[in-house]
């Protein structure tokens, strides 16, 4: 069994493999062996015929994900996770407002667990779909979530701006911030993130001083990054 150091309060298990997007990905992949022969317009393929790791779908009209499919899939996943005994549900790395609203609808129909909704502003201070932190937060808050926030993103300087905007829009609702360790670079055969433990911790401590209530690290953060954050916060 994996052993955890006790400087964290929340341990997350990502469910990318079982989420709606990969599952919709299964639906549109054909039976042929080679990816360049896959028929992206097929809808009638059984899930078990298709590779689970393949990419997912965007919401309509950019992709095939519609309201009813999203709500049903998120409800199913939330109820399975609740049954499995998790304490908290986290909907993270979200880019599209509609998908977030549909996902919250599905999750809340299936579970009363506290729910965090976290967007990824990976274009800097906007999501891939052009959404601003203020628009994201003000739309999600009336849906009754436990916390709202941001994860991943681009550089830490961008995240600094995002955090200020999220905090201003969130009012009394707890803010959840989980930045990546800066921008990744390929060095030789390795991907290296620009922020080491101390630099990430320095930014995250500032977020807490500004009012963020739950903090951590996303892509590129290691146990050393998390330990540096915990230590800097006096944990």
Q: Which residues bind Zn ion (CB under 5 A)?
A: 152, 180, 218-219
Instruction: Please state the closest distance from residue 202 (CB atom) to Zn ion, in A.
Output: 19
If the CB atoms of residues 28 and 217 are measured against Zn ion, the closer one turns out to be 217
Q: Give the integer Cα–Cα distance in Å for 167 and 164.
A: 5
If the CB atoms of residues 181 and 201 are measured against Zn ion, the closer one turns out to be 181
Instruction: Please state the closest distance from residue 8 (CB atom) to Zn ion, in A.
Output: 16
If the CB atoms of residues 38 and 121 are measured against Zn ion, the closer one turns out to be 121
Sign of the alpha-carbon dihedral angle for 216, 219, 222, 224? negative
If the CB atoms of residues 77 and 180 are measured against Zn ion, the closer one turns out to be 180
Instruction: Please state the closest distance from residue 120 (CB atom) to Zn ion, in A.
Output: 7
Instruction: Please state the closest distance from residue 178 (CB atom) to Zn ion, in A.
Output: 7
If the CB atoms of residues 103 and 218 are measured against Zn ion, the closer one turns out to be 218
If the CB atoms of residues 102 and 119 are measured against Zn ion, the closer one turns out to be 119
Instruction: Please state the closest distance from residue 92 (CB atom) to Zn ion, in A.
Output: 8
Instruction: Please state the closest distance from residue 52 (CB atom) to Zn ion, in A.
Output: 20
Three-class DSSP labels, the chain: CCCCCCCCCCCCCCCHHHCHHHHHHHHHCCCCCCHHHCCCCCCCCCHHHCCCCCCCCCECCCCCECHHHHHHHHHHHHHHHHHHCCCCEEEEEECCHHHHHHHHHHHHHHCCCCEEEEECCCCCCCCCCCCCHHHHHHHHHHHCCCEEEEEECCCHHHHHHHHHHHHHHHCCCCEEEEECCCCEEEECCEEEECCCHHHHHHHHHHHHHHCCCEECCCCCCCHHHHHHHHHHCCC
């Amino acid at each position: 069994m994996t052993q955890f150091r006790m400087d964290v309060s929340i341990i997350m298990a990502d469910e990318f493999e079982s989420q709606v997007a990969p599952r919709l990905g299964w639906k549109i992949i054909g039976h042929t062996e080679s990816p360049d022969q896959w028929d992206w317009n097929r809808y009638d393929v059984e899930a078990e015929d298709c590779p689970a790791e393949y990419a997912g779908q965007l919401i309509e009209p950019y992709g095939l994900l519609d309201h009813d499919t999203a709500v049903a899939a998120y409800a199913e996943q939330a109820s399975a996770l609740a049954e499995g005994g998790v304490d908290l549900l986290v909907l993270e790395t979200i880019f599209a407002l509609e998908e977030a609203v549909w996902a919250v609808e599905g999750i809340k129909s299936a579970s009363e667990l506290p729910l965090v909704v976290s967007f990824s502003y990976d274009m800097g201070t906007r999501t891939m779909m052009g959404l601003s932190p203020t628009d994201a937060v003000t739309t999600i808050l009336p849906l009754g979530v436990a916390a709202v926030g941001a994860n991943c993103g681009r550089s830490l300087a961008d995240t600094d701006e995002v955090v200020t905007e999220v905090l201003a829009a969130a009012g009394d609702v707890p803010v959840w911030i989980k930045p990546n360790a800066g921008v990744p670079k390929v060095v030789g055969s390795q991907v290296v993130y620009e922020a080491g433990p101390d630099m990430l911790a320095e930014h995250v401590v500032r977020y807490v001083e500004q009012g963020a209530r739950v903090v951590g690290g996303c892509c590129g953060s290691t146990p050393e990054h998390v330990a540096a954050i915990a230590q800097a916060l006096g944990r």
